[in-house]
Structure 1
Amino acid sequence: MEGVLRVLGTLVLALQDPSVGTPDQSSSIDILTLIFEGSLIGQIVLLILLAFSAVSWGVVVYKNMQLKKAARQSAAFLDVFRRSSRFSEVQAVCPTLSASPLVALFQAGYAELNAQLRGTADSRPDAGASRPTLRSLDAVDRALLRAATVEVSKLEHRVTFLATTASITPYIGLFGTVWGIIMAFQSIGAQGSTSLAVVAPPIAEALIATGAGLFAAIPAVYFYNDITNRVKKAANEMDDFAMEFLTIAERNFT
């Protein structure tokens, strides 16, 4: 980066030469013209940055919708879970709230709970009307943990692309900047002039690449942090729900 700044400083000094004069109207710079008439490498750099930006915005919109729906349905599910007196009543509403990660945890714990209770009842045919009991609360805990891991992975899916965009696009933009500066020196050498009409187009192309890299990277950094924090919040909510489920299971079936 220091070398790039030094080269830019050299070009600025060259442009300050009195022989440069005042540019006429034909020397004005149009950004779209610079892009379409720029070098092939510069255009490829901009296309890559545009692709990264478009995909990252798509990820942001998708994850925002997914997390909002999950949070809304999780709140509704918790309300049903805490008001219901039987797990079977909670199970009945699960299909309508499938976007909530808590539903997956409940179904995993409920399935393990039922399997153990049925096994206990089958192994004690002479127990009469006695209440079946859990053989292993740890097994229920492990079922909840496995479900939570799967659900967190679903919420984190595609988020790493934002981190990749935030990390790599500034360097792609920097490559475009360096390439534009090289083109500027080639123009100076070929035409033997440091006039604005000669130097400005490649320098402007270089700065456009820098700006495009930052335009792709800055939103990606912000939304990566935002989405990661929301996923952590959802993971904490899953941990709390698992503890609540285990407490109820231990109180009623051990």
Structure 2
Amino acid sequence: MKTMMFALVSAAWAAPAGGTPRSGVIHMILGAGAVVKLVLIILLFLSIACWAIVFLKHRVLKRASKESSRFLNLFWNSKNLATVYRESKKMQDSHLAEIFRVGYMELGRLTKASDREKAENPNDLEVKMMWIDNMERATRSAVNGEVQRLEKALTLLATTGNSAPFIGLFGTVWGIMVAFQGIGLKGSATLAVVAPGISEALIATAAGLAAAIPAVIAYNHFTNKVRNLETEMVNFANDFLNIVKRDLVRRSSQTMSSE
């Protein structure tokens, strides 16, 4: 986008040695028809929106990775899940902290339900293993929610990448059609007559590519990044569930031994 803007400014201010203003890009845009101008405006808005998403998404993913690294360090170096839960509330941008909070709260609800039903064999290992199933469903749902949050607005990048070249092509076809109509009215098809109209029309295709190429690159980059974060979340959820499962088995074994 910066390159395109630089070219626009350069073409607008440049002039030949003779001192006569040269027909630059801006001159051709201003001389284009209403439909071509509308196409260029649409492409400009799409390009601006895509670049805004790129900067915003880069910031969000960078912050999420940074806070998740802090959370992992806290999680693996802490002996108390309650402490981890309390500290994780300060890491609202961490996708891993969110997975942990959801799993921990589900474990807390199951523990309270078991405390209310102590008369019904609360130390039954089979019942406690059912807790793991509940926690697994809760964390899986949390992973899906975090993926949706991280993927938010990426659809516009994909839409721009797919549609911008065709929008630009439409402007080009329309511009060429108008140019040929003008040629027919003038009754001349010399290069001097044909070239200005064709060049004005081709600007729409160039603008479409200028909007689409960065959008496609950004979409592929961020999609790959989100997929990696999704794998990270799934792996962490499995590690967390394994820790809880081992603790439940250990406590159940200790209870059975004491009896």
Counterparts of 2:23 and 2:189 in 1: how far apart (Å)? 16
5 Å matches for 1:74-113?
74-113=68-107
The runs of 5 or more residues in structure 2 that have no matched partner are 1-17, 250-259
Partner of 1:69: 63
Counterparts of 1:90 and 1:165 in 2: how far apart (Å)? 42
Counterparts of 1:193 and 1:126 in 2: how far apart (Å)? 97
Deviation digits for residues 166-218 of structure 1 (CA, Å, limit 9, x no counterpart): 01000011111111211221121111222344222211111111100000000
* Displacement of 1:28: 4.6
SS at match of 1:219: helix
Alpha carbon RMSD of aligned pairs, Å?
2.3
Check if 1:151 corresponds to 2:146.
yes
- Which residue, 181, 184, 193 being the options, matches 1:189? 184
TM-score of the aligned structures, taking structure 2 as reference length: 0.83
Counterparts of 1:239 and 1:85 in 2: how far apart (Å)? 22
**Aligned sequence identity (%):** 40
Where relative contact order (Cα < 8 A, 6+ residues apart) is larger, the structure is: 1
Partner of 1:245: 240
TM-score of the aligned structures, taking structure 1 as reference length: 0.84
Is 1:27–1:197's contact at 8 Å kept on the other side of the alignment?
Answer: no
Counterparts of 1:169 and 1:228 in 2: how far apart (Å)? 19
Report the more deviating stretch, 194-203 or 33-42.
Answer: 194-203
Partner of 1:172: 167
Is 1:184–1:199's contact at 8 Å kept on the other side of the alignment?
Answer: yes
The runs of 5 or more residues in structure 1 that have no matched partner are 1-23
Amino acid corresponding to residue 201 of structure 1 in structure 2 = P
Report the more deviating stretch, 117-126 or 211-220.
Answer: 117-126
Counterparts of 1:180 and 1:201 in 2: how far apart (Å)? 11
- Which residue, 196, 200, 203 being the options, matches 1:201? 196
* Displacement of 1:104: 1.2
**How many residues are paired up?**
230
SS at match of 1:140: helix
Amino acid corresponding to residue 236 of structure 2 in structure 1 = F
Check if 1:40 corresponds to 2:34.
yes
Partner of 1:12: none
